[in-house]
Amino acid sequence: MKKIVYTVLALALLVGSGCKKFVEGYDVSPNSPSTVTNALLLSNTQVAYFATANGQLSRQTSMMIQQTTGVGFQSRDLNDYAILEGDNVNEWTVIYTNGIVNLRKLHSQAGGANPYYQGIAKVMQAMFMGIATDLWGNVPNREAGFGNDGKFTPVYDNQEVVIQDIQAYLDEAIVNLSKTEDKNILLPGADDLVFGGDAKKWLATAHALKARYHNRLSKKNATGSATSALTSVAAAKAAGFTSSSANCNATFGQNSNEYNQWYAFTVVERAGYIVTGASMTNIMNAWNDPRLEFYCKPDSGGAYNGTPSDVPNDQASEVGPYLATADAAFPLVSYAELLFIEAEANFRGGDKAAAATAFNDAVKASVKDVTGGADATFEAAQAAETAGTITLEKIMTHKYVAMFGQIEAYADWRRTGIPALTPNPSGAVTSIPRRLPTVQDERLYNPNAPAENDITKPVWWDL
């Protein structure tokens, strides 16, 4: 397990760190470099992304779609849709300061002589911007991350443009990551906490992310988005994304500053704040799903049952070891997700036989990822669809379960409305939120910020 130290987020990576000289005017300490290395920038941005994808935003969106229920303190407020402009300032700051700023620096500093570093930087820039725009809609992008050059109040780009830019970042990454090793002066290695410097796996991930963001536009262009998504799915598979061994995962350790953030929050720091949601556990119980004992801890009666969004039952099943283990890997882009995209896109495109095949494989991949093996009985009941039996509801309901805890599941629900969810009747608003409000710091200090406080207003791709 790679060691991940979350305190690195506190490092001031915006400028080169100071140096102390062993001999005044001559030698410089190698332990205090005058510039931040490519390796340090890469590791730090990856840790920042792990915190973004696996932390507060992950818990918050899981409550929105009732995979979990907040039953205590601030988690209860978020569960009840009392989402304020100050609630996600830290998450926004990590995305832009620890993410985008440092990725721009890494890309520039690596230069054309290090295409693998540049390629990984662009994949991660797409990942950060994907989360930002999915949750906030119009966001700074083209002018973001240049604060050191005096651009402290970037304009907000329309989401349609941001999605186009995400695809462009991934296209650039694919070009760079397709180059041979000998085209690089420096090669990423242990500093790459995801793939250990394996450019081929980053290449496959880039294609899979292109499929994700083509598929994101299903409401805007159902047929065109399906066709484009399938092209990228095929490219991802051709690049090696043919099993879960190619999964792009956040990695964690067993020391307190390396913990998986679901474990740190639900076990170590805020035990009792969050339990599993009845909307998800009811589905899984009806299926006799083998993943239940991994997703949930036994409730007070020894069964696996969540609680409805308006019932603060802290005796319901807590989040289980699949997410809440100190060093549990967390999926960022998975083979199961790729197959669900393939199934949905084929279904929209009218090829139901191909949709059924991809769906069956997706369910099997998810079960194996979570439990470590196959379950013949479950697969016979839930992963044996044909062209005549497959439906979009089956595809998206199974994907909803498979993507437990992943922010992507919130985007899927907004696009499709599957599964059907009843808004929390105790909510501060009458419908399930479809975005986050503009963060307080932006409203106060960036005159270009939209000051959007209507959390029921859909983002562009959700219209």
Residue 457 falls inside a structural domain: no
> Which CATH number do you get for residue 444?
1.25.40.390
- Phi, psi for 10 (deg, rounded to 5): -85, -10
| Torsion angle defined by CA atoms of residues 265, 266, 271 and 274, in that order, rounded to the nearest 10 degrees | 110
**In this predicted structure, what is the pLDDT of residue 34?**
61
Q: Tens of pLDDT along 163-222?
A: 999 999 999 999 999 999 999 999 999 999 999 999 999 999 999 999 999 999 999 999
What angle in degrees, to the nearest 10, is found between the helix axes of 56-64 and 115-136? 40
Report phi then psi at 238, rounded to 5.
Answer: -65, -30
Dig out the tokens for 192 from the structure: 């790459």
Task: Name the DSSP class of 439.
Answer: P
In a domain, 119, yes or no: yes
Q: For the chain, how many structural domains are there in total?
A: 1
Residue 5 lies in a domain: no
pLDDT at position 270: 96
Task: Identify whether 104 is part of a domain.
Answer: yes
Judge whether 41 lies within some domain: yes
Query: What is the reported pTM?
Result: 0.93
In a domain, 309, yes or no: yes
Give the tokens for residue 313. 């039952």
Distances (CA, A) of 229 to 176, 213, 248: 21, 8, 18
218, 219, 220, 221 alpha-carbon torsion, rounded to 10°: 50
- Does a structural domain hold residue 411? no
138 secondary structure, DSSP code: S
Domain that holds residue 294: 37-197+252-328+420-450
* Cβ proximity of 139 and 102 under 8 Å: no
pLDDT-based confidence at residue 32 (cuts at 50, 70, 90): low
User: Per the domain annotation, does 367 fall within a domain?
Assistant: no
